Each structure stands twice: as structure tokens, then as C-alpha cells.
Amino acid sequence: QVQLVESGGGLVQAGGSLRLSCAASGRTFSRYSMGWFRQAPGKERDFVAAISWINGRTIYADSVKGRFTISRDNARETVYLQMNSLKPDDTAVYYCAASPRASSIDYTSQFDYWGQGTQVTVSS
């Protein structure tokens, strides 16, 4: 089992920044690819960003490229999502997820463990 706890969400004005954190425990963090997903009211859970455990390769949804950055600190067993130039369309509950796989990590089905989510609200 891997336990994931997100933090760092909140209310921010458009154009502002937030940094989300996800603290992991329970298994060898360095052997898990980590991802961030988000879900707006009435919509499906969408991929945001992921980082592979093998080589640290990162991938991003087109909607956040150039604005969001995913990173990980294996010593702290934490993954981060730095979000800049936030837009009202970024408003959602953001979920952290862990996967023992290193490929196709932009799909929710590849992830076995999920956090409880943290709310991000961007006002216009």
C-alpha cells in the first residue's frame, strides 16, 4: 500500500501561482511514477502531469505545458506541482497518484494509489 496526502491547494486570483505537494508513505517511493490529475465539477478526472520513476521523464497535458512543473524529491518522498499563470479553467480538485509503471503514465488506469485531493480555485 502507498498512502498519499496532498496539500497546498487554495484560492488564488487569475495569473497567480500555487505549489501543490503530495507526501507519500508505505512503499519505496523512488520505485513509483507519480502523477497529478484534476477533476472539475461534473467532469471526468483529467491528466495534468506525471514523472517517471525510471529516468525522471516528465509529461504534461497540453493545457498546462509551459505553466505547470512537476518535480519529485525522493529523499523527502514528496512530489510537487508548481502551478504558474493560473487560469479560472484550472479550478478543480487536484489528485496525486502513484504507479509502479513507467509507461503510459498519462492514463488514470495506470495508477494504483490515489490521494484524497486538494481543492484549487482560481478567481477571475
Distance CA 100, CA 29 (A): 9
pLDDT band of residue 26 (cuts 50, 70, 90) is confident
Among the listed residues 20, 104, 118, the one whose alpha carbon sits nearest the alpha carbon of residue 70: 20
Q: Does residue 115 register a pLDDT over 90?
A: yes
- C-alpha to C-alpha distances, 123 to 10, 36, 90, nearest whole angstrom: 11, 21, 10
Mind listing the pLDDT tens digit for each residue in 33-47? 999 999 999 999 999
Mind listing the pLDDT tens digit for each residue in 4-25? 999 999 999 999 999 999 999 9
Among the listed residues 86, 94, 81, 95, the one whose alpha carbon sits nearest the alpha carbon of residue 123: 86
Among the listed residues 124, 119, 122, 115, the one whose alpha carbon sits nearest the alpha carbon of residue 1: 115
Q: What confidence score (pLDDT) does residue 103 get?
A: 86
Q: What confidence score (pLDDT) does residue 56 get?
A: 92
- C-alpha to C-alpha distances, 85 to 47, 60, 63, 71, 124, nearest whole angstrom: 18, 15, 12, 18, 12
Arithmetic mean of pLDDT, 84-110: 94
**Could you tell me what percent of the chain has a pLDDT over 90?**
90
Distance CA 29, CA 53 (A): 9
